[in-house]
Copies of this chain bind each other. A is one copy, B any other.
Amino acid sequence: MITQEIPTQVKHAELVARRRRQIVDAAVPLFIKSGFHKTTTRQIAGAAGFSIGSLYEYVSCKEDILYMACDAIHAEVKQGVGHVLARTDRARDALAAAIREYFLVCHRMSDHILMIYQETQSLPPQWRKKVLENEIAITGIFVDILARLVSSGELPRMNDKAIELAAHNISVLGHMWTFRRWFLSRHYSIDEYIAHQTRFILGHK
């Protein structure tokens, strides 16, 4: 949880968590709309329903807010995809199902994922590192699925490096829907996109 990582003078821990949630909920749409740099701390405080002074009781700088926003988005993506792993399905279709689930999450959270692509650079190194680790963790879900299917013989043999790269490819092809959406959505529905990309990933069969 973010709450532990950013210092605050406020004692009541549950209040800190609540206010920070308010801050994130206020900030994300603003960052999506105007970008990090053009969004002011006053706007965020206003949208969250308190004053600029109070805002700074819960964060130490504007960058903290961006980090909390990125972290919350990644948490939601993880949660959206995570329950796919729960199904201990070993069928080859398990991969297609996981891809579908993940791509639908990317579709639903298109603006949010795009925002992370655009603003990660604005994070201080320590926060950026954490955000990139989250990205790896999400890719890791696909590494697991692929490895399982390969070892059970549902997918052709691949070495670890090939598996890892395939997992990155799946991650990125999901993101592609978000950062090329301005083009893709004019030519493909999300279902068409998923169908085509699944075929592409599984080897044009």
Residue positions of A touching B, CB distance < 8 A: 35, 37, 117-122, 132, 135-136, 156, 161-162, 164-166, 168-169, 172-173, 176, 179-180, 182-184, 187-188, 192-193, 196-197, 199-200, 203-204
CB distance from A102 to the nearest CB of B (A): 16
Q: Is the CB of A200 within 8 A of B165?
A: yes
Task: Select one of B156, B161, B188, B203 contacting A165, CB under 8 A.
Answer: B188
CB distance from A7 to the nearest CB of B (A): 25
Closest chain B residue, CB of each to CB of A162: B196
Task: Select one of B118, B132, B182 contacting A118, CB under 8 A.
Answer: B118
Q: Is the CB of A168 within 8 A of B156?
A: no
| Pairs across A and B, CB under 8 Å, 30 listed | A35-B121, A37-B37, A37-B122, A117-B117, A117-B118, A118-B119, A118-B120, A118-B121, A132-B183, A135-B180, A136-B183, A161-B187, A161-B188, A161-B192, A161-B196, A162-B199, A164-B187, A165-B193, A165-B196, A165-B197, A166-B200, A168-B176, A168-B180, A168-B183, A169-B197, A169-B200, A172-B173, A172-B176, A203-B203, A203-B204
Q: Which residues of B contact A156 (CB under 8 A)?
A: 204
CB distance from A140 to the nearest CB of B (A): 11
Q: Which residues of B contact A135 (CB under 8 A)?
A: 180
Q: Is the CB of B132 within 8 A of A182?
A: yes
CB distance from A68 to the nearest CB of B (A): 20
With contact pairs A165-B196, A165-B200, A192-B161 given, residues A35 and B122 touching in the complex (Cβ less than 8 Å): yes
- In the bound assembly, the distance between CA atoms of A166 and B37 in angstroms comes to 35
Q: Which residues of B contact A204 (CB under 8 A)?
A: 156, 203
Closest chain B residue, CB of each to CB of A128: B182
- In the bound assembly, the distance between CA atoms of A176 and B93 in angstroms comes to 26
- In the bound assembly, the distance between CA atoms of A118 and B35 in angstroms comes to 11
Closest chain B residue, CB of each to CB of A155: B204
Q: Which residues of B contact A164 (CB under 8 A)?
A: 187
